[in-house]
């Protein structure tokens, strides 16, 4: 796809400017508001403006509607049918804007949610921070490495609350599992394997052909980091949490094995991220077989943690040393020699009784939204802060290029403003 | 509360006799030639502990697939909202928290609960979404049933009752007045999901489709080409008889409540999973209720409420719903008895439709 056809489909003015290299309308040049937003009292209503109420944005709104003391006060999208969809489930007419800068001019908004395609996350989030409002920004925080850095800088410069949409950090069963890993329950965690497999073309229905790139932005390199960014970023974030750091390197591959339908991102991705002390994270995503589903394994020297979207389970390795009463036989009769192959040592563990299972309760997106609103009220940075966002964002923005180009890439580590 | 025998489905495709499973890969979006003749396609989808079936007329498999996908996505969304088997659902969250504090919920869930409470009031408690604890003490939640101890029943009495659910429309909050109240959407959830999914079909200008939630709630949208409507057969409750009545539906829903799906026998006595929330016991003396109503939510609720209600209350409920038709089959030692109200088709064994209307005249 060339730039012209992309632009025909994606009428977003920001994209036009971004791809043509002309002066930026994104707000980077705007002066930050010197005073941070006031704390909001416990009983005060928090007015939310949302930029990009598509499928993910609408899910955020649904969860915000379940959060006490929140009002959906403004929405912005370049695709107008979204407005009626939002009004329908919010139950009232939410003031709508086609230009996010007009939304940000509203003085009565207390916090901004950014759920656009990732290409616009950083520009919109930085402009919102500069306007003096706390920001909840969907992952990943930047499409390019520079955008990731710019967003970190903008949070530091404005002193605003910032939360990245890594809601899995707020899942009770995930938190429980990772805290068990951090307490040493599976020994030293050395490898994380994440699978996001599905049997689904990953394509959205398009009402008119000219809307293909606007609706199916996930399928095109110009506007999407593909499966690594959209699905892998959650797993990369969990690996970062487990290892307590961001990755240092990435090696990966991608191709189209089934869906030769004009898309330019792969329908499968395999990537290996390197961490310090030789630790690794492997991510696999395929779209033509869903048997493995979505699951993450944290492998430790004494056991493993499995995380799914519904529960988490700890498995322990079998004990290595057994005190046997028959040791005298070894001494008296000698050890018998024979074939060394033992199938049972290579068979995946399937035994009963060694599981510790933690179940899902509240939807983690709701928990994440509640946590953000609490942060807005208390002015305390949330758990999924901008550093967390940088960790997955830099991995995906560098990783995207490395995978497309088929090379090993080194990732820049987070640097704070001096 | 929502355990029904499946009325047999019959769809008619006179010209093509074609019934095709969806499959294959997605074709890139393109306009389907309107000259391609419509054919009947079907797809199934597991949800809400049963199987949803969709039959629709479309120009191609890809066209049908592009409609079925969002329809079933909507069913899944509603299940994620209302399932009491999913801990992450909004209903489960309300069940966990609403005694401890006022739970803010989204407008859709709030409206759903308002609808349920309105039906409880209208039916004088015959329909009651607060029967979750009752279903558990009778072991109908995730199992096939068993008689509870008197102590269990006494405890359940504290935890059942729609009047113990308080809604605040201004704040959009839910509060329970008893600690162990559990909402159970069994008597209304599938109907609500069907209504929402039919909304998706309508939004896509689908002219003819039949959507079935495990056949206990069915919606007939439009009619097959050249036909007056979609045929649905209501099964007989009597042994040896197949069908008690065949109705032809267009732009309306049908729901059936009966005891065939979940029940158990103790000392020769049949206990079914449709509870009377007022007596805390399974309903007796009823075999089956089928209701036709433009709203699938209404037909689902009404079929259960009529099943639970006595004769006078049944008449009063139907009197207030002039668009609803009902076929009630009562248990009788010698033969099943029927009550037909505005029923639009013949009933087997010479029981003619419109009996109730005829008597009124």
pLDDT score, position B89:
95
Q: How many CB pairs under 8 A join A and B?
A: 54
Q: What does the CA dihedral B137, B141, B144, B146 come to, rounded to 10 degrees?
A: 0
Secondary structure E strands in chain B: 20-21, 39-47, 50-58, 103-104, 165-168, 173-176, 209-213, 217-221, 230-235, 243-249, 252-258, 263-266, 269-272, 275-276, 281-282, 286-293, 325-330, 337-341
pLDDT level of residue A11 (50, 70, 90 thresholds): very low
Sorted by sequence, the CB contacts under 8 Å of residue A236 that are 6+ apart come out as A194, A247, A273, A281, A283, A391, A392, A395, A396
Tell me if B88 and A360 make a contact (CB, 8 A cut-off). yes
Sorted by sequence, the CB contacts under 8 Å of residue A272 that are 6+ apart come out as A250, A251, A252, A280, A281, A282, A283
Q: What is the ipTM of this complex?
A: 0.77
pLDDT score, position B136:
87
pLDDT at B20 over 50: no
pLDDT at A347 over 80: no
Q: Which residue has the tokens 């009550």?
A: B339
Is the link from the previous residue into A140 a cis peptide, with omega within 30 of 0? Answer: yes
Tell me if A259 and B105 make a contact (CB, 8 A cut-off). no
B59 vs B329: CA distance, rounded Å = 41
A178 vs A35: CA distance, rounded Å = 38
**How many residues belong to chain B?**
361
pLDDT score, position A29:
41
Lowest model confidence (mean pLDDT) among A66-75, A351-360, A363-372? A351-360
Neighbouring CB atoms inside 10 A of B245's CB total: 22
Lowest model confidence (mean pLDDT) among A272-281, A325-334, B229-238? A325-334
Sorted by sequence, the CB contacts under 8 Å of residue A256 that are 6+ apart come out as A263, A266, A267, A268
- Chain B residues with beta carbon closer than 8 angstroms to that of A363: 88, 93
- Establish if A91 touches chain B: CB-CB under 8 angstroms: yes
Contact between A414 and A246 (Cβ < 8 Å): yes
- Chain A residues with beta carbon closer than 8 angstroms to that of B28: 261-262
Neighbouring CB atoms inside 10 A of B69's CB total: 17
Q: Which residues of B246-263 are buried (b: 16+ CB within 10 A; e: fewer)?
A: bbebeebbbbbbbbbbbb
Sorted by sequence, the CB contacts under 8 Å of residue A67 that are 6+ apart come out as A366, A369, A370, A373, B104
User: What pLDDT digit, counting tens, does each position of A215-230 carry?
Assistant: 999 999 999 999 999 9
B198 vs B210: CA distance, rounded Å = 9
Strands A280-286 and A268-274: antiparallel
Q: Which H or E run includes B78?
A: helix B61-82
- Chain B residues with beta carbon closer than 8 angstroms to that of A65: 104-107, 172
Tell me if A361 and B107 make a contact (CB, 8 A cut-off). no
pLDDT score, position B97:
97
Q: How does DSSP classify residue B279? A: T
In A, minimum Cα distance to B69 occurs at A205
pLDDT score, position B161:
95
Sorted by sequence, the CB contacts under 8 Å of residue B346 that are 6+ apart come out as B245, B352, B353
Of chain A, the end-to-end C-alpha distance in Å amounts to 42
DSSP B186-223: GGTHHHHHHHHHHHHHHHTT--SEEEEETTTEEEEES-
pLDDT at B24 over 50: no
Lowest model confidence (mean pLDDT) among A210-219, A307-316, A387-396? A307-316
Of chain B, the end-to-end C-alpha distance in Å amounts to 35
- Using beta carbons and an 8 Å cutoff, which residues of B are at the interface with A? 25-31, 66, 69-70, 87-88, 90, 92-93, 96, 102, 104-108, 172-173
**Comparing A204 with A357, which gets the higher pLDDT?**
A204
pLDDT score, position A38:
57
Token digits of residue B37: 């003749």
Contact between B162 and B178 (Cβ < 8 Å): no
Among A58, A65, A362, residue whose Cα is nearest residue B86: A362
Nearest to A201 among B25, B31, B108 (CB): B25
- Chain A residues with beta carbon closer than 8 angstroms to that of B70: 205
- Establish if A212 touches chain B: CB-CB under 8 angstroms: yes
B242 in helix, strand or coil?
coil
**Comparing A22 with A275, which gets the higher pLDDT?**
A275
Strands B286-293 and B325-330: antiparallel
Strands A96-97 and A111-114: unpaired
User: What pLDDT digit, counting tens, does each position of B102-142 carry?
Assistant: 999 999 999 999 999 999 999 999 999 999 998 888 888 77
Neighbouring CB atoms inside 10 A of A258's CB total: 15
Counting residues of chain B whose pLDDT is more than 90, the rounded percentage is 63
Lowest model confidence (mean pLDDT) among A217-226, A315-324, B201-210, B235-244? A315-324
Tell me if B107 and A360 make a contact (CB, 8 A cut-off). no
User: What pLDDT digit, counting tens, does each position of B246-257 carry?
Assistant: 999 999 999 999
- Chain B residues with beta carbon closer than 8 angstroms to that of A310: 88
pLDDT score, position B264:
77
A28 vs A14: CA distance, rounded Å = 12
pLDDT at A407 over 80: yes
Among A354, A388, A309, A378, residue whose Cα is nearest residue A39: A378
B80 vs B91: CA distance, rounded Å = 9
- Establish if A89 touches chain B: CB-CB under 8 angstroms: yes
Q: What does the CA dihedral A214, A215, A218, A222 come to, rounded to 10 degrees?
A: -10
- Chain B residues with beta carbon closer than 8 angstroms to that of A258: 25
Nearest to B106 among A65, A206, A361 (CB): A65
B196 vs B74: CA distance, rounded Å = 7
B177 vs B164: CA distance, rounded Å = 5
Average confidence (pLDDT) over B302-313: 94
Angle at B306 between CA B300 and CA B308, to 5 degrees: 105
How high is the mean pLDDT of chain B? 84
Tell me if A209 and B90 make a contact (CB, 8 A cut-off). no
pLDDT level of residue A43 (50, 70, 90 thresholds): confident
Q: Give the Å distances, CA to CA, from B127 to B71, B92, B186, B312, B327.
A: 28, 20, 11, 16, 18
Angle at A25 between CA A24 and CA A30, to 5 degrees: 95
- Chain B residues with beta carbon closer than 8 angstroms to that of A361: 87-88, 92-93, 96
Distance from CA of B215 to the nearest CA of A (A): 27
B173 in helix, strand or coil?
strand
Contact between A95 and A74 (Cβ < 8 Å): yes
pLDDT level of residue A327 (50, 70, 90 thresholds): low
Neighbouring CB atoms inside 10 A of A142's CB total: 26
Neighbouring CB atoms inside 10 A of A252's CB total: 24
- Establish if A203 touches chain B: CB-CB under 8 angstroms: yes
Nearest to A261 among B28, B69, B172 (CB): B28
Residue numbers of A between 253 and 272 with CB closer than 8 Å to B? 258-259, 261-262
pLDDT level of residue A85 (50, 70, 90 thresholds): very high
pLDDT level of residue A355 (50, 70, 90 thresholds): low
pLDDT at A142 over 50: yes
pLDDT at B66 over 70: yes
């Amino acid at each position: 796809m060339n730039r012209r056809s992309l632009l025909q489909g994606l009428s977003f003015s920001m994209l036009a400017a971004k791809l043509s290299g002309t002066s930026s309308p994104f707000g980077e040049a705007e002066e930050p508001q010197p005073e941070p937003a006031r704390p909001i009292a416990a009983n005060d209503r928090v007015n939310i403006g949302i930029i990009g109420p598509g499928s993910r944005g609408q899910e955020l709104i649904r969860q915000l509607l379940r959060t006490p003391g929140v009002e959906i006060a403004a929405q912005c999208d370049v695709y107008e049918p979204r407005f009626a969809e939002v009004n329908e489930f919010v139950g009232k007419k939410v003031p709508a804007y086609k230009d996010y800068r007009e939304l940000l001019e509203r003085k009565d908004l207390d916090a901004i949610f950014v759920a656009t395609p990732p290409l616009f996350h950083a520009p919109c989030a930085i402009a919102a921070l500069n306007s003096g409002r706390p920001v909840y920004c969907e992952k990943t925080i930047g499409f390019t490495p520079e955008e990731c850095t710019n967003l970190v800088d903008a949070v530091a410069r404005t002193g605003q609350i910032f939360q990245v949409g890594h809601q899995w950090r707020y899942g009770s069963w995930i938190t429980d599992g990772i805290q068990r890993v951090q307490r040493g329950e599976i020994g030293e965690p050395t490898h994380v394997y994440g699978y996001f497999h599905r049997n689904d073309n990953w394509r959205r229905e398009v009402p008119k052909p000219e809307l293909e790139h606007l609706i199916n932005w996930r399928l095109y390199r110009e506007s999407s980091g593909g499966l690594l960014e959209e699905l892998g970023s959650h797993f990369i974030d969990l690996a970062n949490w487990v290892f307590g750091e961001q990755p240092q390197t990435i090696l990966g591959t991608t191709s189209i094995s089934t869906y030769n339908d004009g898309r330019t991102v792969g329908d499968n991705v395999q990537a290996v991220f390197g961490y310090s002390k030789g630790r690794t994270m492997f991510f696999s995503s395929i779209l033509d077989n869903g048997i493995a589903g979505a699951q993450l394994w944290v492998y430790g020297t004494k056991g493993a943690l499995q995380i799914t979207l519904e529960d988490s389970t700890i498995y322990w390795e079998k004990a290595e040393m057994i005190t046997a009463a028959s040791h005298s036989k070894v001494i008296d009769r000698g050890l018998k020699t024979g074939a060394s192959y033992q199938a049972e040592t290579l068979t995946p563990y399937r035994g009963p009784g060694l599981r510790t299972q933690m179940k899902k309760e509240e939807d983690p997106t709701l928990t994440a939204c509640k946590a953000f609103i609490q942060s807005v009220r208390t002015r305390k940075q949330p758990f999924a802060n901008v550093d967390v966002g940088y960790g997955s964002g830099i991995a995906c923005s560098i990783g995207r290029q490395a995978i497309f180009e088929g090379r090993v890439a080194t990732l820049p580590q987070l640097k704070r403003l001096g | 509360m929502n355990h029904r025998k499946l009325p047999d489905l019959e769809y008619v495709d006179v010209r093509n006799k074609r019934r095709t499973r969806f499959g294959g890969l997605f074709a890139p979006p393109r306009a389907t030639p309107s000259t391609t003749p419509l054919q009947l396609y079907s797809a199934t989808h597991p949800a809400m502990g049963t199987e949803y079936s969709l039959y629709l007329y479309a120009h191609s498999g890809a066209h049908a697939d592009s409609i079925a996908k969002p329809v079933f996505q909507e069913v899944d969304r509603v299940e994620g909202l209302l399932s009491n088997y999913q801990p992450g659902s909004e209903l489960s969250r309300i069940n966990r928290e609403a005694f401890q504090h006022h739970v803010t919920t989204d407008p859709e869930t709030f409206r759903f609960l308002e609808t349920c409470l309105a039906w409880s009031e209208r039916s004088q408690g015959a329909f009651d979404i607060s029967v979750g604890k009752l279903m558990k003490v009778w072991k109908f939640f995730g199992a096939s049933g068993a008689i509870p101890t008197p102590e269990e029943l006494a405890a359940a009495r504290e935890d059942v009752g729609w009047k113990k659910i308080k809604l605040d429309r201004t704040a959009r909050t839910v509060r329970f007045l008893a600690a162990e109240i559990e909402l159970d959407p069994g008597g209304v959830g599938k109907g609500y999901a069907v209504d929402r999914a039919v909304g998706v079909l309508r939004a896509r200008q689908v002219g003819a489709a039949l959507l079935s939630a495990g056949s206990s709630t069915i919606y007939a949208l439009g009619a097959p080409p050249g036909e007056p409507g979609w045929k649905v057969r209501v099964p007989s409750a009597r042994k040896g008889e197949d069908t008690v009545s065949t109705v032809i539906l267009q732009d309306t829903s049908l729901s059936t409540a009966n005891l065939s799906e979940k029940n158990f026998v103790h000392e020769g006595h049949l206990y079914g999973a449709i509870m009377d929330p007022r007596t805390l016991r399974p309903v007796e003396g009823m075999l089956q209720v089928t209701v036709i109503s433009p709203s699938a939510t209404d037909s689902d609720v009404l079929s259960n409420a009529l099943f639970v209600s006595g004769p006078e209350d049944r008449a009063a409920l139907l009197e207030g719903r002039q668009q609803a038709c009902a076929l009630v089959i009562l248990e009788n030692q010698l033969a099943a008895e029927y009550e037909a109200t505005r029923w639009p088709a013949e009933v087997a064994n010479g029981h003619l439709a419109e009996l109730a209307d005829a008597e009124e005249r």
